[in-house]
Amino acid sequence: MAETGELKAGAIALQRFGLGPKPGQGEAARAQVRDRLLAEIAVGSVAQPEGVTFSGAAEIGKALYDFEDQEKREREARRVSVAQAPQGAQVANAAPQSQMASAPKPANEPALPYRTYRDEVKARVDLALAAETGFGERLVMFWSNHFCIGATKSNMSRIMAGAYEREAIRPHVFGRFEDMLIAAESHPAMLDFLDNRQSVGPNSPAGRRRGRGLNENLAREILELHTLGVSGGYAQADVTNLARIITGWTVVGREGVLGFPGSFAFNAGLHEPGVTPLLGRRYDQPGKAQGIAALTDLARHPATARFIAMKLARHFVADAPPRALVDRLALTFRQSGGDLPTVYRALIEDDAAWRAPASKIRSPQEFLLASYRALDRKPDFGQIIGPAGVMGQPFWQPSGPNGYADDNAAWASAEGLKTRVDVAAGWGRQAAGSVADPRVLSEDVLGPLLSPETKQAVARAESKPQAIALLLMSPEFQRR
């Protein structure tokens, strides 16, 4: 029998490092949580979602171009129909035709980009709900937010949001940071989201011919958000020069001249020629290799190690994590060459990561997943996207390239907590028929974390739905 203190630490760890316990996991999971977390790292991979519409970005790109071409033909046909109608009929039909051109698809038949997004979100959530502890899935969420894209930017970013996570993030979560960095920056979804497909080297053949120039969006976010961090020691000249280095990194158009439509390609005709300095180094590699060399050096930079260490510690442990823990993670990152499993082991094996009080409030997505796991429910898409949206964290839809906030200030506002109460009340009503006794569920899910106050509140609730909602809104459940 494990000691009470060990079980309490294990209960916190299931929430701190994972997605929260499921009914029936009980004392064994709490007693073995460190071993289970280390075992996940040893496996060295995360599963891929099943049942998605398309296999990957290249297949999606072709389908998207076909979809957009068909929409264009339909709009043109409607325009011609209005133009060719008798003048009186034009006036009579103008408003309906205009409305028809912009009208949304029927609710049961959404357009292809949204339909694909829907299927990807559902598959991703199903995977998180099925996971034993959910540490790997938490890491996917962390890195997907670190290298975020926004699904509302365009048809391409929406339809590729899930494929981006499956192709650029998941294969590298238990690999090397530099491999994930290169995969993320070269993915069509990222090149579309941060406009690198519009960036043209001023002295490239296309730049001289068209008079177009650089777009620095991707280069700036690589330095500020993905590698060195805002205090990482770079200057505006480095942003401009990195933008030059990655010119030519683009998305194949619908004509498929450079490859399969919608896939990544290096277009030499857009690439800025010559030797380019960056952070005191000179890059003279040919073509795409110049960008690969620059990203590799950025991945191994000491400022990147410090920035990633701080973000990991802040995400998993506390808004202001112990400095010694951050120092250890940064040193491990540097010494291992950015080997992420080695960094994760350093995190899990550091007692400071276990001793910290449960002060982090779960983000809306974490709250959603933890609640459905605790209630042993398998939600449909509406039961996922609705609550996530009203709580302010819909999947793959941050308001900017810095991703969703990862501190309590973002989620613990009065309005935010009131919204959670409403969501929890709805889940309580939905789950009332399947939860036999909320008091037993509280003991099962929270174990040694269950406070006398929460235990009493659940027991004295006026109804079963209210008891479930009180469990989900308890401080023990909300914090990790």
- In this structure, which amino acid lies at residue 308? I
pLDDT confidence band for 3 (50 / 70 / 90): low
Check residue 100 and give its pLDDT: 35
Higher-confidence position of 27 and 441: 441
**146-194 pLDDT per residue, tens:** 999 999 999 999 999 999 999 999 999 999 999 999 999 999 999 999 9
Between CA 148 and CA 143 the distance in angstroms is 8
Lookup result for tokens 């650089």: 214
Query: Helices 87-102 and 57-84 meet at what angle, rounded to 10?
Result: 160
Check residue 408 and give its pLDDT: 96
Averaged over 259-278, what is the pLDDT? 97
Neighbour-count burial of 4, counting CB atoms closer than 10 A to its CB (0-12 exposed, 13-18 middle, 19+ buried): exposed
pLDDT at 217 over 60: yes
| Least-confidence region, from 50-64, 97-111, 120-134 | 97-111
pLDDT confidence band for 223 (50 / 70 / 90): very high
Q: Within its chain, how far is the Cα of 27 from the centroid?
A: 31
**45-54 pLDDT per residue, tens:** 999 999 999 9
Between CA 389 and CA 151 the distance in angstroms is 13
Sign for the CA dihedral angle at 240, 245, 248, 251 comes to: negative
The tokens of 344 are what?
């994760």
Longest dimension (CA), the chain: 87
Q: Which residues of 328-361 are buried (b: 16+ CB within 10 A; e: fewer)?
A: bbbbbbbebebbbbbbbbbbbebebbbebebebb
Nearest of 255, 328, 337 to residue 297 by alpha carbon: 337
Between CA 351 and CA 253 the distance in angstroms is 51
Averaged over 69-90, what is the pLDDT? 83
List C-alpha distances in Å: 99 to 75, 84, 394.
12, 18, 28
Check residue 2 and give its pLDDT: 53
Between CA 235 and CA 248 the distance in angstroms is 23
Whether 138 and 348 have beta carbons less than 8 Å apart is answered as no
pLDDT at 211 over 90: no
Averaged over 36-55, what is the pLDDT? 95
Sign for the CA dihedral angle at 248, 253, 255, 259 comes to: positive
Q: What is the average pLDDT value for the chain, to the nearest integer?
A: 94
Percent of the chain with pLDDT over 70: 95
Between CA 126 and CA 316 the distance in angstroms is 22
Between CA 295 and CA 292 the distance in angstroms is 5
* Helix ranges, 317-413 (H): 323-335, 340-349, 352-355, 364-374, 381-390, 408-411
| Least-confidence region, from 7-11, 106-110, 436-440, 470-474 | 106-110
CB atoms within 10 A of CB 441: 20
Task: Name the β-bridge partners of 278.
Answer: 281
Q: Where are the domains of the chain?
A: 194-300, 302-355, 361-478
CB atoms within 10 A of CB 78: 14
Check residue 90 and give its pLDDT: 53
SS3 at position 412? coil
Lookup result for tokens 């991979």: 45
Check residue 103 and give its pLDDT: 43
Lookup result for tokens 């976010």: 221
CB atoms within 10 A of CB 419: 16
Check residue 7 and give its pLDDT: 85
Check residue 96 and give its pLDDT: 43
Between CA 323 and CA 331 the distance in angstroms is 12
Check residue 106 and give its pLDDT: 56
Contacts of 325 (CB under 8 A, 6+ apart): 313, 317, 347, 350, 352, 353
Check residue 97 and give its pLDDT: 40
Whether 401 and 157 have beta carbons less than 8 Å apart is answered as no
pLDDT at 329 over 60: yes
Neighbour-count burial of 245, counting CB atoms closer than 10 A to its CB (0-12 exposed, 13-18 middle, 19+ buried): buried
The tokens of 316 are what?
């998993």
- In this structure, which amino acid lies at residue 293? A
**93-119 pLDDT per residue, tens:** 544 443 433 444 555 679 999 999 999
**Taking the model in full, what pTM does it have?**
0.94
The tokens of 412 are what?
């613990």
> DSSP assignment, residue 245?
H
Check residue 1 and give its pLDDT: 43
Contacts of 416 (CB under 8 A, 6+ apart): 391, 392
Check residue 367 and give its pLDDT: 98
Between CA 284 and CA 192 the distance in angstroms is 26
